[in-house]
Amino acid sequence: MSGKVIGLLFKGVNHISYGTIFIINVQYGLILRLFAAQPLTF
């Protein structure tokens, strides 16, 4: 019983962390694209 609950929690955390990493990667890519499109002024 407890093993199953821990397994479910671990799966949930894994899923959330993968989603967070994916979102961060997308945002990072968009920021890099913005900087690449505009000449740096600073």
Q: Is the pLDDT of residue 41 over 70?
A: no
Residue 25 dihedral angles phi and psi, to the nearest 5°: -60, -40
Residue-wise pLDDT tens digits, 6-20:
888 888 888 888 888
Residue-wise pLDDT tens digits, 14-39:
888 888 889 999 999 988 888 887 76
Q: Which of 35, 27, 15, 29 is nearest to 7 (CA)?
A: 15
pTM of the model: 0.49
Task: Give the residue, 24 or 1, on which the prediction is more confident.
Answer: 24
pLDDT level of residue 40 (50, 70, 90 thresholds) = low
